[in-house]
Structures are given as structure tokens and as C-alpha cells.
A and B are shown apart, each in its own frame.
Chain A
Amino acid sequence: MSAKLIDFRTEPSAYRHWKLEFDGNIAHLIMDVDSTAGLFDGYELKLNSYDLGVDIELNDAVQRLRFEHPEVQAVIFRSGKENVFCAGANIRMLSKASHVHKVNFCKFTNETRLAIEDASAQSGQTYICAIKGTAAGGGYELAVTADYIMLIDDRKSSVSLPELPLLAVLPGTGGLTRVTDKRKVRRDLADVFCTTEEGVRGKRAVQWRLVDEVLPPSAWVEGVSSRARALAEKSDRPRDAKGIALPRLAREITPDTVTYRHVQVVLEPARRRATITIHGPGNPAPDSVEAAQSLGADFWPLAMARDLDDAILHLRLNEPELGLLVFRSIGDVASVLAHDEFLAANANHWLMREITHYLKRTLKRVDVTSRSLITLIEPGSCFAGTLAELAFAADRAVMFAGSAIGDNRPPAAITLGVMNFGPYKMGNGLTRLETRFLGEAASVVRARSLVGTTLDADAAMEAGLVTASYDATDWDDEIRIMLEERASFSPDSLTGLEANLRFAGPETMETRIFGRLTAWQNWIFQRPNAVGVDGALQRYGSGQQPVYDRNRV
């Protein structure tokens, strides 16, 4: 694939592949992929198959439904095409894509699918999937993110995961995991399902728990909408509230910088490094939710999250060789904490709830980014509360001890806040501090007792919140050596190491998707049986059967 810049910013008027329709408290999210509008040349997105471009729009739509439409309590997810729901990821795109692109594509689609589930589970915006036509592979994986799946019983519409028999890969966008962990399909039936190219339809799909309900065509339209109305009934979203607009994100790109309002990225290709500096709030926290709402997308926690989210995605897709991300921050600690307090105090307000969950998702995006993450806590920084999570998300956090002569910035500090103890759960279901202190519950308790206390380097070291601290004498050298050393290691082994160390503790569906399923898929994506010249992905569509190396590894 070319080195064309991939832009994650979009809006409904620019969509090529999706339509949003609104009917009171019900939204229709309609997939109608424009086959000629692939992100890259060389393939056509037939049969509602998708590439990264389709998913970028989906991600945007899911996000806007949450922020711009508080009145929407249920989302009917369906196809705009007559005979097909969705055929999954485009095979020709996959067979042409570099390994790096495939992995990044899958990661982003996984995150989007989790965002859909997050909306159903946390936001009172329940997704219902209405499958008419075939939902194959990624199509079913998309469907299965919905809380409730309906399948038309027209004797031909079906759900299937044909990746293994057809393409010699896995239903790797969570499909395999959701079939067992979410749908709780019996393992032997799941085995049959995942090896049967044509899939399952009608009543059997319900019996096997692949879908929740089947309806004949004569009852379809009414059945789907009455089910949506019933699910919407249970929502706590305020039907009379007004949403906030998410205007196009301001961003300026130069050869060595990417500049947002609250986030600045400096690119240093020679050092294989990008430094991400986050700026704290420029204004005090608002004094009422009305005031916060009228700030809309300018409200700092939301504005910062949007900037950081885009920066991470931009670096992932457009700067694959920058293996080291360094986080820094500049700003007023008290102001960051005041915003945190404000979010916590108004946690029941729909918009504050959305912002908090969005911050959670953005931090999770950081967690699963396969770059080395180093957070530098320096004088003048504001790693407090929400932003302190970046110290705990990082593979290492290093703190400046004392102060440098002539430096009149406030000394380096970490300050814990309410947001460090609950709202930002990682994929493993624990907070970053709980994960960090997996074997030492007492350390979590002690950390909680330090909420609001300004911790200098010694105190932060004492509390186990940072990896190392250096004073003015050693700082520059130590940091330089650490970063240079990090950048010199094998990117592959670092990715493996970091992914293993970051997610200590319990397995969840989410960690199984990112850790287990993705790892296996990425292995298979490297193997000749899938991607070799005679492998299944390359031969797909040629009519020639793939040739497999029959050794079991």
C-alpha cells in the first residue's frame, strides 16, 4: 500500500459507506459501502466488504451517536444493500496489504467494535443488529458486537465465519472470542460453525446462540423496530437533552511536527522517536454542567482526548517506524485535578459520562499501541489524575528529582486523584494502579491515601508510581541513554514483551481478543499457508486451491 496519509477525521457529510437515519430515540446505522471508494487502489469493496476507510467512518459514526445524539437510546445496525449484510474485510485488500497495515487495521477495527459494546454497556445506547442477507466473516464479527442480533429467516440469509476454510486465517477481529465468551456458543458447535464455509441460518442459528432471534420476512421490519423500541425503553439516556457537535479537529502537520490545540507531537525519525506533549487546561473547571455543555467540544477533557486519540492513531498508521513514544505534559496540576473532580461530581450527567468513557477508551488505545511508551515527568508538567494515567500506561515512567538551577517552573510532581481509582479500567477490568500493584494490594490502598497530595520524586518512588528518578546532574544523560537503548532493540521482541507486561492480571474477553486471538492471527498472517504465493489469501479468487505446508507447528 502506498504511503498516502491516512486521516481519521471525518464527518457524516463526507461518509462514503455509511448512512445515519434518525427516528426519535432510535437511530439506524446503515452500512452501504461504495465499492469504488476504497482507501487504496487495487481492490473493489464489493458486497459491503470493508477496509480501514470504512471502519474510520464507522468509528466516527459510533462516536457521534454518543456525543451528538443523547436522545438516541437504541441503534439498529443494518445493511443498505439488498442481498448482503456484510462480507467482512475485503480479501484483496488484505492480500495486498503489508503486514504492518493488516495488524494496525485489525487493531483499529477491534477498538471500534469494543466502542460499540461500550456504548451498549455504559451509555444506555443499545445496538441491535438486523441481519438481512449474508453476514460473513468480519460481517458477523461486526454483528456480534451488538447486544441483540436478529436474523431474517428467508431461507438464505446466514451468519458465518468462513475465514478458516476459505482463507486459512482466523475470524481475527474478535469473532472467535465473542462466539465463545460473549455468545457462549458451545465449543464443539463453535468448531463446526467456524469450519463451515456457508455458515448457519434460520432456527439453528438461534439454537446455537449465534443470533438471538429469527423472523420471517413478513414480520421483519416491524419485528426489528419493535425490538429496538423495547430495548430503548430500558435506557437512561435523556431523550430531551441536546447533543454537542464534534467539529472537525484542528490539526497542523509539518515534516517534523503534528500540532493540535492541546497536544503537540514532535517527530524524530533519526531517533525513531515521537514526543507527545499534552497541555493542561487553559481555563479553570466550569462551575456547572450547563457551562461545561456549552463549551461542548472545547471543554478541555474532551478536547484533549480528541487530540490525543487522533495523535495516537496518526502515529500508528502514518509513522510506523517511530517505535518509541515519549509522553510529556505542561500545565497546571490544580486545574487538571479540578476538571477531574468536575467529571466525577457530575458522573451521572450524560455528557460527563460520555467524556469519561471516551477518556477511558483513549487511554486504552494507548495501552494497546505497539510502541514503547516512556513517560517523562519533569518540572512544569501536570501528570495529575487523568494525565497521571499516562505514567501508569507507560512501560516506564521516569521522574525529575529536585530542581535545576535557574528553573522557575514548579518542581516535577505526580498527584493522584479520584480518576485514578475506578473510571479508567483497562481491558483486563482493573485500573492501571491495580494492574501495576497486582501482588501488593496494600500499595493500592496507600496510593488511595495519597489522593490530592503533591508527590515529589522521592515520594513517587516510595509509592511505586515511577520507575526511576534522576536529578539535574544525571537527567539528560540517563534519559538519552535509556531512549537510545530502547530504540535499538528489535521492534518485534519489544512489541511482544510490552504486550505481555502491560496486561498483568485477569483475562477478559477484551484481553483475549487483543492478546490471544490477535497474536495468533498475526502469526498466521506471517505464515506461507496464508500469505505465501501459494497460500490461501493470495490464491483466493483465482480458483486455484492453496497449497499448504502440512506440518503442524
Chain B
Amino acid sequence: MPDGMNIDYDGLIPNNVGLNADARVRKALETWHPGYIDWWKDMGPEGFQDSLVYLRTAIGVDPKGWAKFDYVKMPEYKWGILLAPAVPDRKIPFGKHKGEPVWQEVPGEYRAMLRRLITVQGDTEPASVEQQRHLGTTAPSLYDLRNLFQVNVEEGRHLWSMVYLLHKYFGTEGREEAEELLARRSGHQDTPRMLGAFNEATPDWLSFFMFTFFTDRDGKMQLEALAQSGFDPLSRTCRFMLTEEAHHMFVGDSGVQRVVERTVEAMQQAGITDAHDIAGVRKLGVIDLPTIQKKINLHFSLTLDLFGNEISTNAANAFNAGIKGRYREDKLEDDHQLLEATYPVLRHVGGDFITEDVPALSALNLRLRNDYVQDCNSGITRWNRVIEKAGIDFRLALPHVAFNRHIGEFAAIHTDIAGQIIDDAAWAKLQDHVLPNQGDADYITSLMVAVTEPGAFAGWIAAPRVGIDNKPGDFEYVQVVA
């Protein structure tokens, strides 16, 4: 399939990479397949494996009209290997190989680096499915339940994409890594997932929305950076994953927004204007704005850790090698090599924050993180508009980047949400006021009751403005089989 636009649905594994003609990789993937299905049944959404879910399935990779919607049992979802169409004559867009034709095979000297990047990316995909597997039983609506499952099956498909690359390009080591991806378990003491945020629990639906808003957005940034890669199969894989990822962002963004909408609506109806009247607001059965802010504080800070050390040799090496670019590298106007450039880095030195100009190559993690923060802020702005319109004097905000960090420049210090450095004792006292505490968790948990009637929504969240696939409000997105 030289144009890579059509998907072959004939074999066991749907694909647009000519798997039929590639006996070695096909056999490897067919060998991996049963383990994947076992993993899905063990660790995928709990209790809904036989339900019919109104899911979109990719039928092509053309940006216009690439998916169709239909009822599917999740274990029968057509997970496949889909790469965005090849760009003819694509050149390596950055780094020391800039301008050379992109690689279709892995250059030997970058093999280990590429394998590591793909493995780390791949590990996050099943991790979030595991983290979210219990949420189905407390979904606030069938609409939300369906969105959860859509995200889950697509994360599963992202795993397939990464595993394809491992099998196709990385030999025996790639096969071993692919096995390991099925063996690790989110939050497991002995076999945890590779990155911290992917071992945290997703205990409730507000966490789920926050996760898809903040943590899937990190995924988006990483995919954007890898989509620029000079290793063309990786670039094409990530480009297609990004089309799916957009929906995950939407689920998070609109999910939080609907929570905020419902909260301010209830406050208005009850005549409460003080957002800090937490007890009063909670009596209304909605989630108070300060608690939403705490969730933001938590998920934002955990996700910032995923960007790694601000100053990183690995990031520099990956860029210079042409393996991992910057966010929207193709839209940036500079020499795309950065050998002489510098970049300002906020550092913590001797008890103070200072801004230091460091070689731009070594600050690429931070640069991506800065782009990420900007992207997050657009969501915050939208949510605040809802609050503002309701005339409530409260604004959500991102905490300072040094707040609650465990990796990088600020790992060793504590700050308040404004970035004021505080000592251990002050931090111990502050924590409950800036991060969700047990009382907050108990309250939110008390709201988590499944709503399964088509068109109905739990009292703490507003209905969406439009349905999925333009379906009417009372559409039965999930036909639950008990």
C-alpha cells in the first residue's frame, strides 16, 4: 500500500503499513496479540467488556473523514497500526542532519535512544487505561462513559502503534520491550509503570477530566515533538496518534468546564456568591471551586514532572540527532540547530530563583514544558470565563511551576502555589489547603454515583452542548450488558 492511505482490514491486525507483505513483523505482532487481549481483559475497563459501546474506529488516515462510529464490544475493537500518510521527499527538519532525507530505517547510532523514547511513550498508553479501569462503575452519564471508553480503546491503539515500531525496527530488544509493556502495571509496587504520574490513582471522574486535560496534554506535547522526528515511521505514527489525542484533550477540557458550569449554576440558583463558602456549596451537591483548584494544583504539578529535568543532556542529544524536535518545529523560524542559541531557564540556586541563560539545546525539556504551560492556560481561561459570566469573584489558575515538584530544579524545595519558598514545617501545614485532602476526596467520592439512564447526568456536572457524532441528548451511547 505505497500511498499508505487505505487500511487493510482483512487480516487479524488492521493496518496501513503493508503488514501482509511483511511476514516477519506480522508474525511477531500476531504472537504479541493474545497477550494484549489478555491484558485488556485483565486491566481494561472493569465490568463493561460485553457492553456495546458507540465508538469511533479509524477507517482511513485522511485527516478529513478518517473514522466511522458504530456499536462495538471493546475487546473486539479494531486495534490497528495506522500511520499518517508519508510526506513525499520529507527532509530531516532539525539537528545536525537537517536537510538530509528522513530515515526509513533506524540509524544504528541512534537505535538505543530511539528505542528508549518509544518505550517510554509506549508505557504511558496502557498505563492510563489501567489507571482509569474502575471509573466505569461511577460514570455521571452514558455520554461520559462512552467518552471514557473511547479514550481507553485509543490508548490501547497507541500502544499497538508503539509496539509495531518496536517489533518492526528494534529486533529482539524491541520484542522484549513490547512484552514488558504488557507486564508492567500502573501503581504496582514491584512492576510499576515507568513514569511517576502514570502510577498515581485516578480515583474519581474529576481526576479523570483533570488527567485527560493535563496529563494527556503532556502526551500531546511529546507526540508533537516526536512527530517532527527525522525517523519517518515514528513521525508518521505520532502524527496519526495526534488526531486521536485531540479527542482526549476535548474530554478533559469540556469535562472540567461542565463541572465548573454546573457548580456556578447551582451557586447562582442558591444565591451563593462566595466561592469559599465550601460547606454551603457542597450542600448543593456540586464540587466547590476551591476543590477544583486543588485538583488543578495536583495534576498540573504531577504532569510537569513528566517533562524531566529542565536541563537535560538526553534532550539535547535527541534534538541534535534529529530524533525529537520542538513543539511545532516546522512553524518555528530559526536555524533549527541551536548550536549557538541560548534559552532562559528558571533555576533554584542557593535559596533563590534565578533566570539563567543556558545553551538552548540543553534546555529543550523546559522549552517543551513552557509550550505546555501556555497550552494549559488556554483551558484555564475558558473555564474562568464561565465563572466570570456567573458573576462569581473567583478565578482558577495554574500554580507556580516550582510547586509540588519531584523532578528537576525544584525537586528539593517546597513552595506555596505562588512559588514562595517555604520550609518543611510550613509545607506540612499548607498541603491540606492546596492539594486535595482526605475530606475533599471523601466528598467527591460521595458524589460518584453511576447515572445510566440515557440523556441523564449526575447532579455535579452539566450536560454537553452537543452529542458525539451529533447524536441527540438521549442517545444510548453505551448499551450496558450486566
Contact = CB atoms under 8 A, between A and B. Distances in A.
A63 interface: no
A541 B321 CA distance: 13
Give the interface size bracket for A toward B. 10 to 19
Contacts of A216: 189-191
A36 B412 CA distance: 12
A196 B192 contact: no
A154 B316 contact: no
A543 B180 contact: no
Interface residues of B, number: 26
Nearest to A34: B412
B192 A544 contact: no
Contacts of B112: 196-198
A541 B313 contact: yes
Given A544-B96, A545-B96, A218 B189 contact: yes
Given A196-B112, A197-B112, A198-B116, A541 B316 contact: yes
B180 A155 contact: yes
A534 to B, nearest CB: 12
Contact of A155 (B192, B315, B317, B361): B192
Find the residue from A82, A155, A218 having the highest chain B CB count within 10 A: A155
Nearest to B350: A36
Interface string B380-418: 000000000000000000000000001000000000000
A50 B434 CA distance: 36
A540 B191 contact: no
Nearest to B123: A155
B203 interface: no
A542 interface: yes
A283 to B, nearest CB: 50
A82 B320 CA distance: 30
B362 A155 contact: no
A251 interface: no
A546 to B, nearest CB: 11
Contact of B320 (A154, A198, A545): A545
Interface string B180-191: 100010000111
A543 B361 contact: yes
A545 B362 CA distance: 13
Given A197-B112, A198-B116, A542-B361, A218 B190 contact: yes
B473 interface: no
A156 B316 contact: no
A284 interface: no
Nearest to A36: B350
A543 B192 contact: no
Given A198-B116, A218-B189, A218-B190, A541 B362 contact: yes
B191 A155 contact: yes
B275 to A, nearest CB: 37
Nearest to B116: A198
Contacts of B189: 216-218
Interface string A193-233: 00011100000000000000000111000000000000000
Interface string A122-166: 000000000000000000000000000000011110000000000
B194 A155 contact: yes
A197 B115 CA distance: 12
A217 B320 CA distance: 36
Contacts of B75: none
B362 A542 contact: yes
A540 B313 contact: yes
Find the residue from A36, A82, A196, A543 having the highest chain B CB count within 10 A: A543
Interface string B107-125: 0000010001000000000
B341 to A, nearest CB: 11
Contact of A544 (B180, B184, B315, B339): B339
Interface in B280-329: 313, 315-317, 319-321
Contact of A156 (B194, B364, B406): B194
Given A36-B350, A155-B180, A197-B112, A542 B194 contact: no
A544 B361 contact: yes
Interface in B162-194: 180, 184, 189-192, 194
Interface of B: 96, 112, 116, 180, 184, 189-192, 194, 313, 315-317, 319-321, 338-339, 349-350, 359, 361-362, 364, 406
30 contacts: A36-B349, A153-B190, A154-B191, A154-B192, A155-B180, A155-B184, A155-B192, A155-B194, A196-B112, A197-B112, A198-B112, A216-B190, A217-B189, A217-B190, A218-B190, A540-B313, A541-B362, A542-B361, A542-B362, A543-B313, A543-B315, A543-B317, A543-B359, A543-B361, A543-B364, A544-B96, A544-B316, A544-B320, A544-B361, A545-B321
